[in-house]
Homo-oligomer: A and B are copies of this chain.
Amino acid sequence: MTGAIQPDLAMAASLFDALGRATRQGRGIVRDSYGEGEQAAHDIVRAAAAGMALEITLDAIGNLFMTLPGKDRSAPRIIVGSHLDSVPQGGNYDGAAGVVAGLCALSGLRRAGVVPDYDLSVMAIRAEESAWFDVAYLGSGGAFGLLDPGCLAIARSDNGVSLEATLRERGFDPQPIRARRRLLDPGGLRAYLELHIEQGPTLVARGLPAAVVSGIRGCKRFRNARCVGEYAHSGAVSRPHRHDAVAATVALLHHMETVWLQHEERGEDLVLTTGELFTDPGMHGPSKVAGETRFVLDIRALSAATMESVAAEARAAAARIADAYRVRFDLGATSDSPPAVLDERLRARLMSLLDHPFQMASGAGHDAAVFAKVGVPSAMIFVRNEHGSHNPDEGMALEDFAVGARALLALLLDFPL
């Protein structure tokens, strides 16, 4: 295979255009998981795959495989994939860009007459977003038999129809999910590659078209943290006699910010967020010392050890601050999702393929995390995107997409590494 082969960007442009036209409702994109919007997107990419004579198959739960057959059909294959669903009133690129990138890479290979040594499949994954059934990765998790069968009973957030009924309605089979049966054998996969828009502003800020994803952050979250002090008259109780839950919570969160800054200085990946914080509306008052706060502390990092040590530091700091402020912290249990390790060799190769090599962590989850979890060497490319994701204003320029798609195709042409 040679470097002169290029992704089919004209096809990419027309696919983005068709996807947007078919699934826009008002300002935003609606490709409801296992719903009409997602199906419309599947129909569009399937037609494109048929147009270039790819082999088309569907698994029991609706994941769509569009394959350029290789010389050795039994050899482990490469999957290039992403999802085609969107959040309600989402944008045109979150998920779809990865499927389109795979198709326009295979189209480039087809037009160049390349027959790869082994199969190259584009996988249009179902239902990655948790917005509809309150569970993420239904498609990729289901493909590897990883879903809790209880998810079949979950009602779709807008129409109340269960996942099971929804699957049946579309002609799919809930049985493999119920039996936790694998539809895809990780051993049959050489690699999983995913291109995705960046969901944050880093590439825009750095003026870079694309990046290699270093890993997908895990999350360790104190979901129901609480500080309990004592309500008191704000004027009549002096500082040394207060049990001020707000002051103590402020002290804890301020301390955790300094912990974050120390990690930043050492170059250790970490993000800390308190997105919910509130006094009790039934008890608080403008002239009362607050007797209680509730808050979330969301810890994300590429390293499980970092998350563990930051959580331990939060607990230790809470104990110190509780003493100093005469309050009690009850941080509660954490809900944990482990970080996903992306393949080091694939990342290094992708870095060498970028004119401006840059590596960054993904803070949001992706199907790639599921593939990495079952041991498939996985890699991701981020493409610059304006205005974040999960909103109608997602803005990915085709030139930036082209940079990512070229790196993806070059990586495919390079295999085996």
Contacts and interface: CB of A to CB of B under 8 A. Distances in A.
Interface of A: 198-202, 205, 217, 219, 221, 223, 232-241, 244, 246-247, 250-251, 253-254, 257, 260, 264, 271, 273-279, 281, 284-290, 293, 296, 298, 300, 362-365, 388-390
A246 B275 contact: yes
A277 B246 contact: yes
Given A235-B219, A363-B234, A298 B276 contact: no
Contacts of A264: 239
B273 A244 contact: yes
A234 B275 contact: yes
Number of copies: 2
A108 B287 CA distance: 39
B279 A278 contact: yes
Contacts of A237: 200-201, 271, 363, 388
B234 A298 contact: yes
A66 to B, nearest CB: 28
A236 B202 CA distance: 9
A196 to B, nearest CB: 11
A278 B275 contact: no
A246 B275 CA distance: 7
25 contacts: A200-B232, A200-B233, A200-B237, A200-B241, A202-B241, A221-B286, A233-B390, A234-B271, A234-B300, A235-B300, A235-B362, A235-B365, A236-B362, A237-B271, A237-B363, A237-B388, A239-B264, A246-B275, A250-B254, A273-B287, A273-B288, A275-B288, A275-B290, A276-B286, A276-B290
Given A200-B238, A236-B363, A275-B289, 13 more contacts: A198-B236, A200-B232, A201-B237, A233-B364, A234-B300, A235-B363, A236-B362, A250-B250, A250-B253, A250-B257, A251-B257, A274-B290, A276-B279
Given A223-B286, A290-B277, A271 B388 contact: no
Contacts of A240: 205
* Interface-central residue, A201, A205, A234, A365, by most chain B CB under 10 Å: A234
A285 B279 contact: no
A192 to B, nearest CB: 20
Contacts of A223: 286
A180 B298 CA distance: 57
Contacts of A241: 200-202, 205
A143 B20 CA distance: 73
A35 B244 CA distance: 35
Contact of A199 (B236, B250, B296): B236
Contacts of A233: 199-200, 363-364, 388-390
A268 to B, nearest CB: 13
B290 A234 contact: no
A290 B278 CA distance: 12
Nearest to A288: B275
A299 B284 CA distance: 17
Contacts of A275: 234, 246, 279, 284-290
A273 B279 CA distance: 13
Contacts of A271: 234-235, 237-239
A253 B246 contact: yes
A232 B275 CA distance: 9
Contacts of A253: 246-247, 250
Contacts of A217: 235
Nearest to A256: B250
A320 to B, nearest CB: 15
A104 B238 CA distance: 31
Nearest to A335: B286
Contacts of A284: 275-276
Give me the 9 closest cross-chain CB pairs, A-B, nearest first: A235-B363, A234-B273, A278-B278, A200-B236, A199-B236, A236-B363, A200-B237, A254-B254, A275-B288
